């Protein structure tokens, strides 16, 4: 099992966009990342994201570039910036298929 941890692309400031959608730079960088992933034959069975708009947009761009059906891009609880990582550590330890998690800092930077 391989685990791919991805921080969402560059997002707009909250004052500009309360939903914090991706900036054009964030979209472009995510597309470049997905093309690099495709060249490396990265094919997670699912792409989980936090449900926040910037993570959803990042996950969709990655799925498109990796030729993964959008039905496998799934919003889940527990991937928000300040969520506890231990439940995900347990969940991941039980997985057998490759997964990609699209989330936020500081969540992605924590150790279980």
Q: Please indicate, yes or no, if residue 16 is contained in any of the structural domains.
A: no
Residue 70 domain boundaries: 3-10+21-109
Note the Cα 9 to chain centre separation in Å. 9
**pLDDT for res 28:** 98
CA angle, 108 then 15 then 110, to 5°: 10
Return the sign of the alpha-carbon dihedral for residues 44, 63, 58, 35: positive
Q: Please indicate, yes or no, if residue 65 is contained in any of the structural domains.
A: yes
**pLDDT for res 25:** 98
Q: Please indicate, yes or no, if residue 27 is contained in any of the structural domains.
A: yes
Q: Please indicate, yes or no, if residue 48 is contained in any of the structural domains.
A: yes
Total number of domains in the chain: 1
**pLDDT for res 61:** 98
**pLDDT for res 57:** 98
Rounded Cα–Cα distance for residues 11 and 88 (Å): 24
Residue 63 sits in a domain of what CATH number? 3.40.50.1240
For the chain, 112 residues long, give each residue's pLDDT as a single digit of tens: 999 999 999 999 999 999 999 999 999 999 999 999 999 999 999 999 999 999 999 999 999 999 999 999 999 999 999 999 999 999 999 999 999 999 999 999 887 6
Q: Please indicate, yes or no, if residue 69 is contained in any of the structural domains.
A: yes
**pLDDT for res 111:** 76
Q: Please indicate, yes or no, if residue 54 is contained in any of the structural domains.
A: yes
The 10 Å CB-count burial string (b at 16+, else e) for 55-75 is: bbbbbbbbbebbebeeeebee
Q: Please indicate, yes or no, if residue 37 is contained in any of the structural domains.
A: yes
Q: Please indicate, yes or no, if residue 15 is contained in any of the structural domains.
A: no
């Amino acid at each position: 099992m391989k685990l791919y941890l991805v921080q969402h692309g560059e997002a707009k400031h909250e004052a500009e966009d309360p939903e914090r959608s991706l900036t054009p730079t964030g979209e472009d960088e995510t597309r470049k990342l997905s093309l690099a992933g495709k060249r490396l034959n990265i094919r997670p069975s699912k792409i989980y994201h936090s449900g926040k708009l910037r993570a959803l947009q990042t996950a969709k761009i990655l799925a498109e570039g990796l030729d993964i059906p959008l039905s496998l891009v799934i919003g889940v609880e527990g991937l928000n910036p300040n969520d506890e990582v231990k439940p995900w550590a347990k969940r991941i330890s039980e997985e057998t298929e490759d997964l990609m998690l699209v989330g936020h800092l500081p969540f992605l930077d924590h150790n279980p």
